[in-house]
Amino acid sequence: MTETTQIITREGFVEDRFAGTNIPTLEEYTGGGAVLLPVDANPSALAPHLSTLALVVIPFASSADGRGFSHAAALRTLGFKGHVRARGHVLVDQFRAALRAGFDDVEISAAQAARNPEAQWLAVPHDTCYQTRLFAA
Amino acid sequence: MYIYTDFDRNFLRARVAEFRDQVERRIDGSLTEDEFKPLRLMNGLYLQLHAYMLRVAIPYGSLRSAQMRKLAEIADRWDKGYGHFTTRQNIQFNWPKLSDVPDMLDALADVNMHAIQTSGNCIRNVTADHFAGATPDEVEDPRITAELIRQWSTDHPEFAYLPRKFKLAVTGTEEDRAVIRFHDIGIRVREQDGEVGYQIVIGGGLGRTPMIGKVVREFLPRADLFAYLEAILKVYNLSGRRDNKYKARIKILVHETGLEELKSRIETEFATQKRLLPDLNPEVVANVRASFVTPAFKDTDFDPNKAQSPALRAFLDTNARDHARADHASVTVSIKPIGGTPGDATSDQMRALADIAEAYGYDELRISHEQNVILPHVHRADLPAVYDALRAAGLATANVGLISDIIACPGMDYCALATARSIPIAQQIGEAFSDLDAQHDIGPLKIKISGCINACGHHHVGHIGILGLDRAGVENYQITLGGDGTEEAAVGTRTGPGFAYDEIVPAVERLIEAYLDQRLSPEETFLAAYRRLGLAPFKDALYGDAHAKAA
């Protein structure tokens, strides 16, 4: 997080536990630490590094572009246990889906955080979900 | 019919509360119009030419009387006393106020209805054969599968922001009334070695680029349904084009990638999903199946040879069809009165339909994608009473499947995208062929009219398709012939230059004259005659000697 962004978890607005972490792009990435995974990349490119990788940041250039949700889900499918963050234009109303798809938190601009204060994010209901019921074996 | 559980009801109330909050945030400015747009769309709220439009989901077109009465109440209370049944088996209200919409959604939730996922780039309301559970020839009621898909796709965390809208349809019969070959995913329930599973078709669609769907799996075991759908949607979500909304549907992905390549990507993803996801739980299926029990059919004695009035006989010949039980019939109520707006029903008509369904139809109603209302189960002894009640409500037009049973999009009278009027064309064709005896002589004929290239009126699959365009500020109507939305799927062929607003109905009349002149017998339908004769004689009829000489 920088001064111009805000991290939000299910608990509300929080400090960035990865503050100061260097987050290279996928091309520059060599292993360990953190990486920025663009939505037009293939998440399986990270497969060899999943055990050492701590943070994957997936950018949302627009709230209408839902590829990030599938990327987060794909990382979890690959067995990634680390932290997955949605960065960019994520709506309050996408928060439930983001957490369910596999994200741990979202990082939005300070301007958006001013328009969508913490109370709106805390008010998001997380309890109702068809898929969990259907996939309960 | 599917019976809502506490879970379903709680889910609905939570979603209404959420949307009420979103509307408030839009009004207080914490949501911008750009941000609000996908949210209102996901709740079925469009901004139309004159006002907002609320599209209410009628999952697989099935309704109870109480639900139909609630739609009537909503039409009276928050709209102008009518609703419009759509080609996705839904109903649209054309005049709601934004601030009223949360109350409308609450009223809908009172009868387990909603507007969730009726628009937006998400998985839309799943459609199914409108004779499901009543038709004699089905492997299984397709609504069981449609309801499973409704649950799976509702609020799915991964697939709410797809490249473009995504439509699924399910049929339980070989004869396809659900138009599965023209859906993003079409599903046919089939049986193999005593096991119920699915044929899966992908990449069909109408719109600007009509394409016939391709079979991607001949037989998918039922246990793998969700794993396979997840695989298709994952591949589409990541690979579908987002640079151009007119190239964003899965049909373009299939076309540009090639079926074999895409199929292999889907199968690879499916293998992963199959490893991760449990098989579709038979208990879940059994619970859903139990909701679709057939009614306790009456065993009333009746005389099948009892004399019928000519009007009743004519009505039944056109609007009734065989039921799985010999002593019952399914009755299609035409929402296409001669000279009326296709699909529009008044609140009084909705209440009449609810009353009739309650008295004679085991409380069940269906909306067909052809914008008619169906009483799926009527005992044959009750048919005269049903006819009388329909006639009293102005709902006894005996034109189902005939030339005046027209599908038309709202067109320029309502829609912000339309480039030409559709409804007046439908009305004028109805009036030109207002004599029902003449309509019967012409026989089965599907005319479909779209008011722009987005093809909401499904003109590509009309036996006669009419597409209204704007040519330098003047309405111009192109004709296509030979389209077919059934299992024999075909996209209509354009005849040539279009016709002006005042020329299009005479042009249709000339087509009909040519058909009547050249058919082998009254049994040869328009579509069959077209397939036998080809375009030439119809082109002659449309464009006359000038064309004949040029050719």
pLDDT tens by residue, B118-172: 988 999 999 999 999 999 989 999 999 999 999 999 999 999 999 999 999 999 9
Output the average pLDDT for chain B.
Answer: 94
Q: B546: pLDDT confidence band, cut at 50, 70 and 90? A: low
Locate the chain A residue with the closest alpha carbon to B10. Answer: A128
Same domain, B151 and B270: yes
> Is the Cβ of A130 closer than 8 Å to some Cβ of chain B?
yes
Q: What is the pLDDT of residues B198-240, one digit of tens each?
A: 999 999 999 999 999 999 999 999 999 999 999 999 999 999 9
Q: What average pLDDT does this structure show over B242-271?
A: 96
Quick check: A70 and B160 CB within 8 A? Answer: no
Within B63-158, where are the H helices?
A: 65-78, 101-110, 142-153
Q: Which two tokens stand for residue B41?
A: 């769309």
B329 within 8 A of B308, measured Cβ to Cβ: no
Lowest mean pLDDT among B102-111, B406-415, B482-491, B500-509: B406-415
Q: What is the pLDDT of residue A2?
A: 55
Separation of alpha carbons B60 and B129, rounded Å? 8
CATH code, domain with B277: 3.30.413.10
Same domain, B101 and B141: no
Separation of alpha carbons A110 and A91, rounded Å? 13
Beta bridge partners of B187: B170, B200
Please identify, among B334, B366, B392, the residue that sits at the C-terminal boundary of a domain.
B392
Q: What is the pLDDT of residue B551?
A: 45
Same domain, B373 and B482: no
Q: Which residue's entry shows tokens 């079979």?
A: B215
Separation of alpha carbons B279 and B274, rounded Å? 8
Residues of chain B neighbouring A98 (CB-CB closer than 8 A): 157
ipTM of the complex: 0.94
In one letter, which amino acid is B527? L
Separation of alpha carbons B104 and B40, rounded Å? 14
Please identify, among B341, B368, B392, the residue that sits at the C-terminal boundary of a domain.
B392
Total domains in the fold of chain B: 4
B345 within 8 A of B63, measured Cβ to Cβ: no
Is pLDDT at B523 greater than 80 in this prediction?
yes
Q: B545: pLDDT confidence band, cut at 50, 70 and 90? A: low
Q: Which two tokens stand for residue B416?
A: 């912000």
Separation of alpha carbons B186 and B127, rounded Å? 10
**Which residue range is the domain that position A109 belongs to?**
5-135
Residues of chain A neighbouring B21 (CB-CB closer than 8 A): 123
Q: What is the DSSP letter of A102?
A: T
Is pLDDT at B97 greater than 70 in this prediction?
yes
Look at residue B129 and tell me if it is in a domain.
Answer: no
Same domain, B283 and B152: yes
Which among A64, A69, A123 is the nearest to B38, CB-wise? A64
Q: B283: pLDDT confidence band, cut at 50, 70 and 90? A: very high
Q: What is the pLDDT of residue B547?
A: 56
Q: What is the pLDDT of residue A114?
A: 92
Q: What is the pLDDT of residue A129?
A: 86
> Is the Cβ of A44 closer than 8 Å to some Cβ of chain B?
no
Total domains in the fold of chain A: 1
Going by C-alpha positions, the residue among B327, B349, B364 that lies closest to residue B396 is: B349
CATH code, domain with B70: 3.90.480.20
Quick check: A66 and B121 CB within 8 A? Answer: yes
Buried b (16+ CB within 10 A) or exposed e, B109-148: bebbbbbbbbbbbbbbbbbbbbbbbbbeebebbbbbbbbb
> Is the Cβ of B191 closer than 8 Å to some Cβ of chain A?
no
Q: What is the pLDDT of residue B149?
A: 97
Please identify, among B48, B78, B110, the residue that sits at the C-terminal boundary of a domain.
B110
CATH code, domain with B333: 3.30.70.3340
A21 within 8 A of A33, measured Cβ to Cβ: yes
Is pLDDT at B50 greater than 80 in this prediction?
no
Quick check: B39 and A93 CB within 8 A? Answer: yes
Same domain, B373 and B422: no
**Which residue range is the domain that position B342 belongs to?**
313-392
Q: What average pLDDT does this structure show over B171-186?
A: 97
> Is the Cβ of A55 closer than 8 Å to some Cβ of chain B?
no
Separation of alpha carbons B483 and B446, rounded Å? 9
Q: What is the pLDDT of residues B366-425, one digit of tens each?
A: 999 999 999 999 999 999 999 999 999 999 999 999 999 999 998 998 888 999 999 999
Residues of chain B neighbouring A74 (CB-CB closer than 8 A): 234
Same domain, B63 and B207: no
Q: B37: pLDDT confidence band, cut at 50, 70 and 90? A: confident
Which among A77, A115, A128 is the nearest to B14, CB-wise? A128
> Is the Cβ of B162 closer than 8 Å to some Cβ of chain A?
yes
Q: What is the pTM of this model?
A: 0.94
Look at residue B29 and tell me if it is in a domain.
Answer: yes
CATH code, domain with A78: 3.40.50
Separation of alpha carbons B63 and B60, rounded Å? 9
Q: What is the pLDDT of residues B317-364, one digit of tens each?
A: 999 999 999 999 999 999 999 888 999 999 999 999 999 999 999 999
Burial grade of B153 (CB within 10 A; 0-12, 13-18, 19 or more): buried
Quick check: A64 and B121 CB within 8 A? Answer: yes
Is pLDDT at A116 greater than 60 in this prediction?
yes
Beta bridge partners of B448: B407, B465
Separation of alpha carbons B497 and B478, rounded Å? 7
Locate the chain B residue with the closest alpha carbon to A93. Answer: B39
Q: B42: pLDDT confidence band, cut at 50, 70 and 90? A: confident
Q: Which two tokens stand for residue B72?
A: 């009537």
Q: B25: pLDDT confidence band, cut at 50, 70 and 90? A: confident
Q: How far B83 CA sits from the closest chain A CA (Å)?
A: 30
Look at residue B1 and tell me if it is in a domain.
Answer: no
Percent share of chain B, pLDDT over 90: 82
Same domain, B200 and B73: no
Q: What is the pLDDT of residues A10-54, one digit of tens each?
A: 999 999 999 999 999 999 999 899 999 999 999 999 999 999 999
The rounded Cα B127 to chain-centroid distance in angstroms is 7
Which among B22, B155, B281 is the nearest to A137, CB-wise? B281
Q: Which of A37, A130, A132, A133 should one mutate to test binding to chain B, selecting the residue with the greatest count of B CBs within 10 A?
A: A130
